[in-house]
Amino acid sequence: MPLIEELENKLQNIELIIEDIKKSPQTYNTILKDSVKNGTYQCILRRKLNNLVNQGVICKTSIPGTRFGKAIFYTIPKNYYILVESGRAGSEVYFFTSFKKINKFYIEIKNYYMLEDGVWFLKKTKKNIFQGKVLKFI
């Protein structure tokens, strides 16, 4: 199914977007993908997601350190963790299913996803994160 038809189907049947959010956290850009510049789709998606937030179906939080207050959506309960880390050029957002506490200052994550330009990329490496740089741990 072409991307435009898939997106239109998701906007008509919001349950499909909720299922995506249950699998992994989403932003407006990760849902809209190539149609991120389409103002009509943006308006419909924002309205529907805000209604779901108001109804308590999904949760919304802003990512600190982003230029225009990028929002991330997730469900409770969730089977993943979301971590926002303060980086050199702003915030870096990760999601992962498990972590290992190395000591009281560091955690180690493996096989994590990193948000880059509105797309989740799988990183199959280990990463140590210093808790002093963590802005949000959801």
Question: How many Å apart are CA 103 and CA 105, to the nearest integer?
Answer: 5
What tens digit of pLDDT does each residue of 73-82 get?
Answer: 999 988 899 9
Residue (of 10, 13, 6, 17) closest to 57 by Cα position: 17
The topology (CATH level 3) of 3-137 is SH3 type barrels. (2.30.30)
67 pLDDT above the threshold of 70: no
Domain ranges of the chain: 3-137
* Alpha carbon 41 to chain centroid, angstroms: 19
What tens digit of pLDDT does each residue of 42-59 get?
Answer: 888 889 999 999 999 999
E strand segments, 88-133: 90-96, 99-101, 106-116, 119-130
92 pLDDT above the threshold of 50: yes
